[in-house]
Each structure stands twice: as structure tokens, then as C-alpha cells.
Amino acid sequence: MEQEWRTLSVVEGQPLRGGTGLIRERARAEHGLAYEIRYPAGVASAEHSHDHDSIVHVLEGRLRGTVDGVWSELGPGDVVVHPRGVRHHVEAIADSRWIEFKAPLPGRPPVG
């Protein structure tokens, strides 16, 4: 059953900058999950870290951000890893959609 889109306004307890995004859960396993996320151009997460690893696979648009202070820009087909405990952030420089895999399963909802 396909999950409903929800408004995304907070990531790891910090408000998004520049607006809101959309999120829906796509899959869940015993030790991880996958979200589909959409940010319109200009929306960004604050720099943060978390207690799980995240793998971001860009489907549409353009993202830029940092992982441990290193900048990168991503487009469709690109992948980046946000290791647990490492500070990072992401900003949509065009309307963007991606799948984000999280493992192990976060101890609390990482987004809201």
C-alpha cells in the first residue's frame, strides 16, 4: 500500500529553511527504512547529524550540500552517504525528489 505524502517541516528537530518539503515512507524492514522526499527549489535542512546512516539517491532535480564540511552537488542518478554522527546538510537548488535509505532503523522519527 502506497503511503500518503506528508508535509516535511522539521529534520532532526530543526526546522527546514526556505519552506517545507513532502515526505512519504516507501519501505520498512527490521533494521532500516526508505523515504521518498521532495523539496522545492530553495528549501534546505539545517546542518545536523543523527544516530543512523543515510544513503541519498537523487531521482530528479539538483541538490547541493555538505558532508563533514565537504561540498558536493548532485543530480539524477547520483548517490551520497551521510554516515551516522557526521554533520551534513542538503539544499534543493532545483525542485528535487530523492529516495533516502536509513539504517539501522532510527530510534525515533528523524523527520516531521
* CATH number where 18 lies: 2.60.120.10
In a domain, 111, yes or no: no
Q: Which domain holds residue 32?
A: 6-103
100 Cβ contact list (under 8 Å, min separation 6): 34, 35, 36, 37, 54, 55, 56, 57
Task: List the one residue out of 81, 85, 84, 87 whose CA is nearest residue 100.
Answer: 81
In tens, the pLDDT along 76-106 reads 999 999 999 999 999 999 999 999 999 987 6
How many structural domains does the chain have? 1
Q: What band does 111 get if pLDDT is binned at 50, 70 and 90? A: low
- Is residue 64 a contact partner of residue 91, using CB atoms and an 8 Å limit? yes
Peptide bond into 104 cis (omega under 30): yes
In a domain, 77, yes or no: yes
pLDDT attached to residue 112: 52
pTM: 0.90
